[in-house]
Homo-oligomer: A and B are copies of this chain.
């Protein structure tokens, strides 16, 4: 089995904040919405059904844990969870906090406008609060 190598675009558009049992938990470089990305550290996988049943269960556990933590940290109106991957084929799951006054509510975040980078301060504050909520 080939070693896991992170997709170049995921590497560019987000930064790792924690390694979980299965996934690399990453925070997107986009301050428009609190946006986390879970990347299962498995090679050659683009669909959830390509994962083994055990990895599927792990992914569920990790995404539910991250989603609940993101809700707690942000007080979001709704958490959006999605595995899309039409552009980046390496399996990755978006976990995003949505608010009624955000830039595309109630529409989807994908394909909407352009990212607005975090400052170091807002990135690190969100990272710290997520790590604390996941302890």
List chain B residues, Cβ under 8 A from A89. Answer: 78
A106 interface contact, C-beta 8 A: yes
A-B contacts, 19 listed (Cβ < 8 Å): A47-B67, A47-B68, A47-B79, A48-B63, A48-B64, A48-B67, A49-B68, A57-B57, A78-B85, A80-B85, A81-B84, A86-B98, A86-B105, A86-B106, A106-B111, A107-B110, A107-B111, A108-B110, A108-B111
Interface residues in chain A, defined as those with a beta carbon under 8 Å from any beta carbon in chain B: 46-49, 56-57, 59-61, 63-64, 67-68, 71, 77-87, 89, 98, 104-108, 110-111
Q: A47-B78, A108-B108 are in contact. List 16 more A-B contacts (CB 8 A).
A: A47-B68, A47-B71, A47-B79, A48-B67, A49-B71, A49-B79, A56-B60, A56-B64, A57-B60, A59-B60, A77-B86, A80-B85, A82-B82, A86-B105, A107-B110, A108-B111
